[in-house]
Structures are given as structure tokens and as C-alpha cells.
Structure 1
Amino acid sequence: MRIPSLLLPSLLLPGLTAAVGFDCAHITVDNINYDLSPLGGVHEVYHVDKTEDSITNTTYVLNICSILNRAAIRGPLKCGTSKNICGFRETKSLDGSSETEYAFPIVGLDPLGHGTKDPEITRLKKLDSSREGLLIKLSGGEYKEEGGKKKDAGAVIEFQCDPDRTGLEGLKDIQDEEVEEKAKRSAMTMADDKNGNGNGTSDDDLNDNDPNKSLKFVSFGPGDDNSYVLKLDWRTKYACDNYQRDNRENQSGGHWGFFTWLLIILFLCVAAYLIFGSWLNYNRYGARGWDLLPHGDTIRDLPYIFQDWIRSFVNTIQGAGSRGGYSAV
């Protein structure tokens, strides 16, 4: 059967995604394995910039392990459901004369699986021997400057080793988006009421500067190659070099340790019983050979006892399925 050409790209999409994408669950760098899949899901951070004339609020929505899907759509703003990181920008003049909204993709594949995220993964120890974690660079986005010129966009996420953090501290689920938006709009309204006179809400109050939050916004702007780069810091135990190995050893030790000790105890009990029983039979009865073993006759008969039990079991099963009545003579 021929496959219609229009359906072919969609059928090949999973394979293309795996080939050119980023697998957060299976990361190997310098023969060290990392699994960042517990950090999957849709998360967001936001940043507010104030000038003399306007205030700009940008929310960055990301899912490092999968596409954003519906999270890439916010009201009239659409970033692209096949993206992994998107930005949603709202700029409002302080005098209330204008308000603009803009959505832009930062990381992800183009529709139908074209393009690439070009993942670049580096251990932080290669950059600084005193630090531990991963530096991951991803691309595939696009940003339009004020003049209308389009530039490539990407993200640089620094996963910092923190044994005491899962990386999900302070992160809100996407279901809390409505509450988050109301809070941010309220903050922008407060700044507007103060008309930018410097006596209103401070930058620290407006921005997402919760010290307990593991995911932090660092910056967004032109990089060295003239493309726009979103920089994030993410503290998590899953970026520690030895976490995978230590976690695997702890799990195996917890399961196999119990059974190992159980087998050892059973073996020692059986051995003590046989040794003590053999010594007793030798000294009391002068036994030799099989007669030395306690209950030696029973041990010798075990194969026959087992055969009889199997035969009885089979006869019982067959008898339960046989038909009653007279049999032919």
C-alpha cells in the first residue's frame, strides 16, 4: 500500500525528532551519564524591564524534555507547538497610550520536524575545575528585532550541581498560569500608577527573584555570534557527576542486601543443623555414611516423594476434567 506523501513527514517526525533533538534522559559526557528527565514538564520564569517610557514583562516558558504543545499558545499569541522554549513579551507605555504583545520561539524544531536544536553539552568542570554540572546550548528559535530584522535565537542553560535540590523548588505548574498572569499584570499596573517616578515598585519586587527557586533567569540578548541567547541557571542534584552511580548503588544495595542476609542466615541454620545432627548420630549411634545425616532416610526418599506428589497432582487435575458416567467395557 502506498503512503500518501502528505502523511510521510508526520510519520517520520518521531524519528527525526530523536535524530536531531535532545534526549534529556540519556546524556553522556566524558563517559559520565546524566538523567535530567525529572526536570521535565512545562515550567516558566519571567523578567521585567522598566524604562522611563515603558515597562516590559517577558515570560519564558520551557520544557527541556518535550515540546510545549498547548503551552506555546497564550491567548492570541502563538509561538509554535513544536518548540521547547518560548518567550511571551508584553510592553506597555507608562502613560497608557500603547500596549504591544509578541511571542517568539527560542528553542525547538520547525513544523514537520525540519531544523535542528543543535545541542552542545559541556561539563562545567572543563570550564572551571571548582564547579560541577552541565552547560547545555540549544537553538532552533528566531527573534525579530524592533526594526523587523530576524535573528536566530537559542538558549544556554547552566545546570549546576546542588545535592540538596531536586530542581523543582519554587516552580509553578502550567495550571497556575492564570494566577501568575494576574500577579504580573497587577505589578505592571502599580508601576503604571507611579508613572515611573522611581518611588514605586522596585525591580527586585517585579522580577522573579525568589531565592528559594531553583530555576533562575539570567539574561536575554544578543550573543557573540549576533544571535539572541536566553541564559538560565538551574540548580539540581541531577546535574551532579556521581548522582546516577550513587543512586544506582543505593538502590541495588537496598534491595539485594536484605535477600543476601536472608540467604546467609538460612544457609548457616541448615549447615548448623546438619553438622550438629551428624555429630550427634556419630557419637550416640556410631553412624556412618548417609546414616550420619539427621533424617537421612527422609532425605534419600525426597526424589521419590516429589515424584509421588507430582503424579498425585496430575491425577487430581485430570480427574477434575474427566466426564462422569459409564465407561465402555
Structure 2
Amino acid sequence: MMLNSMALLVIAAAVSTTSALECSKDDVLSKYRLSDIPLVSTSKLDDTPPSKTNTTWYFNLCQAEGELPADCPKNSQICGVQTVLLAGEDPIVSQVISWGQGLSYTVENDTESGFVVKMGETNWGSNTVDSTLKFNCAKDDDLSVEWDTKALSLSWNTPFACLKDSKKPPPEKPKDGEKNKEPADDSWGWFTWLFIILVLAFGVYIIMGAWLTFTRSPADFSDAVHDFVDTLKSLAQGVPSFVSEIFGRAVGRGDRGGYSAV
């Protein structure tokens, strides 16, 4: 009996177990940048003739600020709502799955690269389902969900999963209704470098041509100079359109889709 009791104590100490997901108070989760994590959602629309089926998952982790939809039970930490859409009719809610705040959870595999949260089983009708939430420290956000009516699996690449003392910059909290945007690239594109190389090569060609003309016939050097000046004028006239094209390429980059803050 003594050995069994000691073994249980070792197991309990190896895994962080708590009954409420309070990130700021948890010994493990408090090491990560979870204090500003928002309430997030992700949706998937399936074509299920004669209807369409929309499944939306809400993650209200770490007591995030935000309001869950009316279909979700109060104090849900995770809530999935499946809605059937028929043309000309009101949406029909067909499934609601919820993990409440009273459920226990464990934090495992906590490293600099992220951590895993395993939620306790929740009742769903006559069935019990569990969930595994894998958080990966990453510069950009990418959230994916898998659900097979028996278990929920979340994989979230996000700066929120990075340690507070990590050298990676802290994440900016998304504004309400705003999707994460891809950070701007400050490096020069290949088109800019190609233009610079072509200009330099053209300049070398003009100079070498003028020098060869001067060495062969000094009388024709003035004509070469005039040609060179005309070429420079043509290049100067083309600069505004080039700058406009570069600006259009930079501004016209589309935003990368991601999770949305509720």
C-alpha cells in the first residue's frame, strides 16, 4: 500500500491537473503569453444536399473576453454548434457540443515549442467525448479542428503559445471582428533586384560604348553623349510608372485568412 501511494503521488506531480482553465493562476500556463488570448472561432461549411451544414467551434479559453452565441451553454470553454441551412428556411441547429468550466484538464508536454491541454470528458447525450488542444509556438496564426463525434482535436499555431521570456515578439491582440493579417515583408522583392541589376548593366553598356566610340573616332563622341542623355531622359520618364507598379504590388497583397476574434 505504501508503494502504491507513493506511485500515485509521483504520477500526480508529473502532470498539472486543475478543475478550471485559469491561465494566469496555473503554474504551467502562466509561463506562456496567454493573458491576452481572445475568444476565437472557426467555421466549416459542408455541402450536404439538399442542405448545407455549417459547423462553428468557439474557444473561450483562459477566461477570454467575448460573448458566446446564445446556442452555447453558459460558461462554456469550448462550444461547437452545427447548423443545417435550407434554401428559403430558417437555420436549424442540429448539434451543440460543450466543454464547461467545471471540467478538469491536464497540461502536458510543456516546452519552449508549446504545450498540450487535455480536457476532461464531457457528456453529449448518452455519450462522453474528450478533447485535446495542441498549442504550438509560431509567428503566424493557423488554427485547425478535427471532430469525429467521439473526440475533438485542436491544433493551433500561434504566438500566444510562446513563452513570455522567448525572444519572439509578443502577439498583438486582434480587434473584435478582425482576422489576423500576415505581417508585412520589409525585404526587397526579386522584381526590385532585377530592375536594379538591369539598370546597372545598361549603364555599364552605355559607358563602354561611349568609351569605344571616343577611342575610334573622337568626332562621333558628341553623338554618343547625346544618345546617352536621351536614354537617361527615357529612363527618368519611366521611373514614376515603375514606382507605381511596385507600390501596387506591395499594397495589393491579399490578407491570409485565419481565425477570427469574436
Q: If the TM-score is normalised by the length of the shorter chain, which range does it land in? A: 0.3 to 0.5
Q: Which has the higher contact order (CA 8 A, sep 6+)?
A: 2
TM-score (norm 1): 0.39
TM-score (norm 2): 0.47
Q: Based on CA coordinates, which of the two structures has the bigger radius of gyration?
A: 1
Specify which structure has the higher proportion of helix. Answer: 1
